[in-house]
Amino acid sequence: MDRRGFLKAGAAGAAGGALAGCDRPGATDAGGGTPGRNETAMVPAALGPPPIQPLAAAPIGEVRIGFVGVGGMGTAHVRNLVRIEGCVVSAVCDVEESHAERAAGIVEEAGHPRPALYTRGETDFQRLCAEEELDLVYTATPWRWHVPVCVAAMESGKHAATEVPAAYTLEDCWRLVETAEATSRHCVMMENVNYGRAELLCLNLVRQGVLGDILHAECGYLHDLRAIKFADEGEGLWRRDHSWTRDGNLYPTHGLGPVANCMDVNRGDRFDYLVSMSSPSRGLQEWATAHYPEGHPKRDETFALGDVNGSLIKTALGRTIYLSHDTNLPRPYSRINQVQGTRGVFQGYPDRVHVEGRSPGHQWEDAEAYYHEFEHPLWRALREESIGAGHGGMDFMEDYRLVKCLRDGLPTDMNVYDAAALSAVCELSEISVARGSAPVAFPDFTRGRWQEWASWSIVEA
């Protein structure tokens, strides 16, 4: 039985025992987590020692990029990359030849040579990785292809970058870590929300000590995706499938990434354990009944995914994080984005701040009042250049920073350990839900290095 099968078997068999407290926090285990007797924290036996410092690869003069998956999000990234100095999209891979041709046209219109196209099916990225002289392979494919593309890239000597989540099983999280360490290649999860203007304002407030010591955060992904999940194109071709059999916090990184940075996760603190529970599942079934006629096969689908999942994360330093997932019900968009410190609080939707001794008593201030003094340097420098890019400019910021780090030989803003820790929430939440909301331990993908690595700094453009 492989690791995933072992974990799933444990989840199914332990639901009753978990309610009796068999996995409650206790003795430290081999993975460094506090919940004792919890196999989720196991470290693969074959894994060697972790690096002393996060990887800083040799500088690259011009970053040659192979892009895998150029649907909606992939095309947006290609549009950003052709505007960034010091990189070129040299190859494009997609199962739809028309998508690859569209991306090639964008590259050529920007004045770059036509990229090589790879369109021979779902695994043609393997040929791209083997044949092309590239520095980076970047993927924006459906979730199940993120790990295979990244592993193929690293094993062929290329750095890897992937859309979110980087993986959705613990086995694959470890596979990314093992491969990155064995090949000394970057594996970056491209979490665009880390570069949002409000999120970086909040991070700067934290770094400047305005909010005091950070104790708690609330975040999530609250987005009505019913129409997208049932669409006959784009994400509708695959994303709804995950709701058939999985019940947990399936898309955690947009909300969790920014608050993890504010809490120095993997750089002074780490995720320790998680508790998760889900509401009943009704939203997708009711949407299908309302939008499809009698006899349509989509009306017969059943779903395991609870419409609202709430997960609580405890860190090694005792901080708490509430993380929500809600994509099957009618609601306005939100990521919550609340960071609470001993001297003040930042909260999103709408963006607002309260700082003791600075704000009016018991009243919010509009976050706009803080940009003049605390705007993040990236946004001061690149705001005009990012106009027109996806998600309010944050997509351009993340692509810019990846290219800059590769060109300058710097550690990337997020590394493979961040990709694994944030993505691990997917399966950990599923296991906790299956065990009656018992605590489950996070693996320490850094194997103790989180106590030594420096915080994510306030970087310049």
Give the start-to-end residue ranges of the domains of the chain: 63-189, 194-381+416-451
CA distance linking residue 434 with residue 277, whole number of Å: 9
pLDDT of the residue at 456: 87
Q: In terms of Cα–Cα distance, which of 195, 336, 213, 191 is closest to 263? A: 213
CA distance linking residue 176 with residue 172, whole number of Å: 6
Q: Architecture of 63-189 per CATH?
A: 3-Layer(aba) Sandwich (3.40)
Structure tokens at 94: 């997609």
Taking the CA atoms of 39, 45, 50 and 55 in sequence, report the sign of the dihedral they define. negative
Check residue 265 and report its DSSP letter: B
Structure tokens at 17: 């025992």
Strand order in the sheet with 136-139: 116-118, 87-93, 63-68, 136-139, 159-162, 187-189
Per-position pLDDT tens, the chain of length 461: 444 444 444 444 443 333 333 332 322 333 344 444 478 999 998 898 999 999 999 999 999 999 999 999 999 999 999 999 999 999 999 999 999 999 999 999 999 999 999 999 999 999 999 999 999 999 999 999 999 999 999 999 999 999 999 999 999 999 999 999 999 999 999 999 999 999 999 999 999 999 999 999 999 999 999 999 999 999 999 999 999 999 999 999 999 999 999 999 999 999 999 999 999 999 999 999 999 999 999 999 999 999 999 999 999 999 999 999 999 999 999 999 999 999 999 999 999 999 999 999 999 999 999 999 999 999 999 999 999 998 999 999 999 999 999 999 999 999 999 999 999 999 999 999 999 999 999 999 999 999 999 998 899 99
CATH assignment of 194-381+416-451, among 2.40.50.100, 3.30.360.10, 3.40.50.1110, 3.30.70.360: 3.30.360.10
Are 417 and 266 in contact, with CB atoms under 8 Å apart?
yes
